[in-house]
Chain A
C-alpha cells in the first residue's frame, strides 16, 4: 500500500518538498542544539521545560482525540463516521510520532533515551508515558493498516481487529491522562497541582483534535475525490462545540478556586499569565489572544445555523485549534514554572533554533500525515469509485 504515496500530482509533490525543506532546516538546527546543548533554547534553571514539552503535551491530546471518531463508529455503530475513522486513526499516528520526537529533541542526553526501557521505573509517570505512547502508536498502526488493507481487498477486516479497536478506545484517554499525571502530581507547583487537570486535558484534547480533523476533512474533500461526509463533519462539529464549552467551563472552575480562595500560590501563575506579575508580562498578549480566539470559536460553534455553514465552521475550528495550541502548548507549561519555588520570576520565550526544530517536528508530523492520508484516500477513491461507478463527491 505504501506505493500509493509515490504517485501524486504537482501540488502533492510541491507540498512534500516544502515539508522536506522545513525538515532539513530544522534538522540542521537540531545538530546545532546537539552540539552546543539545550542552552541554545530559551529554557533556564527556573523554566526547565519549554516549547518542546508544551507541544508534546498538546499533541498527546490530538493523538487521543482519534477516539472521538473511533468510539461512536465501533462501539455505537454510528455509521456516519465510517469514512472518518481512518483519517482519525492516521492523525493519531502522526500526532504520536510528533510527541515522541518532541520528547527526543528535549532530552539533554538523547542517546541515552533507551535507559528508560533498560531501567524500568514503575514509580515514574514518565515511564508509563513512554509505554502508553509506544503502545498507542503500535495499536493505531496495526489497526489502521489492517482495516485499510481489508478495504482495499474489499473484504471485511479480520476478526482480531475488533478487540484491538476496543483496546485502543480505552487506551486513548489513558495516554492523555498519563500525560496530565506528569503535571498533576508534582508537589510545590500549584498551577498544576489540581485534580481537574486530567479532565481539562481530555476536554481540550477532544475539542482541539476533532477541530483539526474537521479542517483536514474539509481539505481532503477539496483536493481529492474522497468525501468524508457532510453529516460526519457536522457531528464532529457538535463534539468540538461541547468539548470546547466544557474546557472553558473547567478553566472557569480553576479561576474560581484560585481567586475566591485568595491563596497566593494558586493565584500567582494565573496573574502572571493573564495580567503580568511584578512587571513581568511577556506572555500576557498571547494568553489573551488564546482567550479571544476561544470566545470567537464558541460564538461561532454554539449557533447551529453558523455551524452548518462549513466555511464558518472551518474558521471556528481554526480558532479552537490555535486557542488550545497556545493555552496548552505554551501557557500551561510556562505557567507552572512562573513564579519559581522561590517566588521569583524568570521569563521564557523560545529562541530561533528552538522554533526551527519545533517547526521541523511539525513538518515531520505533517509529512507522515500526508503520506498516510495519500495512501488511505487513494485506496478509498479506488474502492468507492469502482463500487458505485461514479465520481464519489456527494456526501450521504
Chain B
C-alpha cells in the first residue's frame, strides 16, 4: 500500500491533535480532591441572599464614611493609584445624589440632600448583567448566598463586565497594583491582584467564611446594616419594613441588594 507525503502528513497531524486532545480531556476530568474532603467552616455566616442597607442619616462627617472605605480598601489590599485618575481602582467610594441616582435630578432638591455622600459599592444584584456577559464565568453569582464573586485566576481581562455593569462598580488593573499598595499597611492574609484583571467588592466573602461581618459594616458603627434579605427576621428586613429606602437604577431589572435610607 503506497501513501504519498501529503496523506501521511494529514494523518500524522490529525492523530497528534486527537492524541493530545484525548489525553488532556481525560486528565482534565479527573478530580484530585474528593468532595467528601471539603467542607464549610462551621463558624461561617450563611444566607440565602446577602443585602446591605446604607443608613445615610447615620453618616454625619467625612470621617464616618471614610472609615468604611479605608476598612475595605486596607482589608483587601486595594491599590491607591494617584498618578493617573484614569487607572484608579476603588471598591467603595462616595458620590453625591445626582451622580449616584442619575435620572432623578431635581435642581430644587434641598442642598443637604444634593451634597450627601452616598456610599457606592457593588450592588450584588439578583440578576447581574456582569455575570450574564462574562465569557469565562470569572465573575459569577454564588449559588449559596447570592454574592457576585470574582475568580481572579480565570479572568482574561476582556472588561465586558465593566461595560455591562450599569453602576460603574468595577475597576480594571491597568498596571501592576503592587507599587501602589502601602507595604506597611497591607493585609498579609489576603492576596493582591495582578495587572490585567477586573476587581470589585466581593462582600468580604473571606470574612463571612470565618464568621465575621464585612469590613465596612464593622467599621460603620451601625450605619451599614447587613443581613439576609430572604430571612424575615434579619436586621435588613427589619429596617426595610420600617423605613423607606431607594435603590440605584431599579428600573433596569438588575435587582440590586444595596438599599439607601435617606
In the complex they form, whether A and B have CB atoms below 8 Å apart is answered with yes
A342–B156 CB distance below 8 A? no
Q: Mark B125-140, 1 if CB is under 8 A from A, else 0.
A: 0000100111111100
A342–B176 CB distance below 8 A? no
Partner of A186, one of B88, B164, B174, B197: B164
**Does residue B175 face the partner (Cβ distance < 8 Å to A)?**
yes
Which of B168, B176, B252 has the most CB atoms of chain A within a 10 A radius of its CB? B168
Q: Name the residue of chain A whose CB is nearest to the CB of B131.
A: A123
The B-contacting residues of A in range 26-82, CB under 8 angstroms, are 36-39, 42-46, 48-49
B171–A45 CB distance below 8 A? yes
Chain A residues, Cβ within 8 Å of B95? 342
- Complex CA–CA separation, A168 to B103 (angstroms): 44
- Complex CA–CA separation, A336 to B176 (angstroms): 27
The size of the chain A interface, using a CB distance under 8 A, is 45
B86–A44 CB distance below 8 A? yes
- Complex CA–CA separation, A264 to B198 (angstroms): 29
- Complex CA–CA separation, A220 to B198 (angstroms): 46
Chain A residues, Cβ within 8 Å of B85? 44
B252–A108 CB distance below 8 A? no
A108–B196 CB distance below 8 A? yes
**Does residue A344 face the partner (Cβ distance < 8 Å to B)?**
yes
Q: How far is the CB of A366 from chain B (nearest CB, A)?
A: 26
A119–B160 CB distance below 8 A? no
Partner of B175, one of A37, A42, A45, A116: A37
- Complex CA–CA separation, A331 to B157 (angstroms): 22
A108–B158 CB distance below 8 A? yes
Q: How far is the CB of B219 from chain A (nearest CB, A)?
A: 24
Q: Name the residue of chain B whose CB is nearest to the CB of A113.
A: B156
**Does residue A163 face the partner (Cβ distance < 8 Å to B)?**
no
- Complex CA–CA separation, A115 to B155 (angstroms): 8
B133–A109 CB distance below 8 A? no
Q: A39-B84, A124-B135 given as contacts; is B162 within 8 A of A48 (CB)?
A: yes
Q: Name the residue of chain B whose CB is nearest to the CB of A343.
A: B102
The number of inter-chain residue pairs (CB within 8 angstroms) is 143
A107–B166 CB distance below 8 A? no
Q: Name the residue of chain B whose CB is nearest to the CB of A263.
A: B103
Q: Mark B70-93, 1 if CB is under 8 A from A, else 0.
A: 000000000000001111110000
B172–A38 CB distance below 8 A? yes
Q: Name the residue of chain B whose CB is nearest to the CB of A336.
A: B163
Chain B residues, Cβ within 8 Å of A48? 159, 162-163, 172
Q: A121-B134, A124-B134, A187-B254 given as contacts; is B156 within 8 A of A112 (CB)?
A: yes
**Does residue B100 face the partner (Cβ distance < 8 Å to A)?**
yes
Q: A109-B157, A121-B136 given as contacts; is B168 within 8 A of A37 (CB)?
A: no
**Does residue A5 face the partner (Cβ distance < 8 Å to B)?**
no
**Does residue B165 face the partner (Cβ distance < 8 Å to A)?**
yes
- Complex CA–CA separation, A6 to B111 (angstroms): 74
**Does residue A89 face the partner (Cβ distance < 8 Å to B)?**
no
Partner of B167, one of A107, A341, A344: A341
Q: A39-B175, A112-B154, A187-B253 given as contacts; is B102 within 8 A of A45 (CB)?
A: no
A186–B129 CB distance below 8 A? yes
The 8 A-B residue pairs with the shortest CB-CB distance, nearest first, are A108-B157, A188-B166, A108-B196, A44-B86, A39-B174, A37-B195, A126-B135, A39-B175
Q: List 26 A-B contacts (CB under 8 A).
A: A37-B176, A38-B157, A38-B196, A39-B87, A43-B174, A45-B88, A45-B162, A45-B171, A108-B155, A108-B157, A109-B155, A112-B157, A115-B135, A121-B137, A124-B132, A127-B135, A130-B135, A186-B166, A188-B166, A188-B167, A188-B249, A340-B168, A341-B166, A342-B99, A342-B102, A343-B102
